[in-house]
């Protein structure tokens, strides 16, 4: 039983890495530079951080059987955690909290199709 859970956990981890890589490639093809992948702060992790000129895009990647389920898996508490992590990350930026930012959510469905929701949520 423990081995089965461990295997499922490893599969989920690798599926998450593949999803994040796919979304990173999408952003790169649109001209954005990946600044960090899976950046870990004191309060948690941000899947992708991208450069948009002098600004930053913080991206949360969600994968599920369909887009609605993927979107529903992002809770208000998780959005707050991501915003707190982003604020921590901004401490290392030249403009600090004055850096222009946006928070996107990238959804991947069971067929591997992607949908990116720009400005999905913000600091608040």
Q: Tens of pLDDT along 14-63? A: 577 888 999 999 999 999 999 999 999 998 999 999 999 999 999 999 99
In angstroms, the CA 16 to CA 47 distance is 9
Stated as kind and residue range, the H or E segment containing 41 is strand 33-41
In angstroms, the CA 22 to CA 82 distance is 20
Taking the CA atoms of residue 56, residue 57, residue 60 and residue 61 in that order, the dihedral angle to the nearest 10 degrees is: -120
| Entry pTM | 0.88
Centroid of chain to Cα 37: 9
Residue 123 has pLDDT above 90, yes or no: no
Return the bridge partners of 116, or none: 106
Q: Tens of pLDDT along 71-104? A: 999 999 999 999 999 999 999 999 999 999 999 9
Report the pLDDT averaged over residues 104-121: 94
Q: How many other C-beta atoms are found inside a 10 Å radius of the C-beta of residue 8? A: 10
Q: In what order do the strands lie in the sheet with 101-108?
A: 33-41, 44-52, 55-63, 101-108, 114-121
Stated as kind and residue range, the H or E segment containing 27 is helix 2-29
Q: Which domains does the chain have, with CATH numbers?
A: 2-121 (3.40.1350.10)
């Amino acid at each position: 039983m423990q081995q089965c859970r461990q295997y499922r956990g490893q599969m989920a981890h690798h599926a998450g890495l593949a999803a994040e890589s796919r979304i990173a490639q999408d952003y790169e093809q649109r001209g954005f530079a990946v600044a960090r992948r899976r950046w870990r702060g004191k309060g948690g992790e941000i899947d992708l951080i991208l450069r948009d000129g002098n600004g930053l895009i913080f991206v949360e990647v969600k994968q599920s059987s369909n887009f609605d389920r993927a979107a529903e898996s992002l809770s208000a508490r998780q959005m707050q955690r991501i915003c707190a992590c982003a604020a921590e990350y901004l401490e290392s930026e030249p403009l600090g909290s004055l850096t222009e930012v946006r928070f996107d959510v990238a959804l991947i469905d069971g067929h591997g199709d992607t949908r990116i929701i720009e400005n999905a949520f913000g600091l608040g």
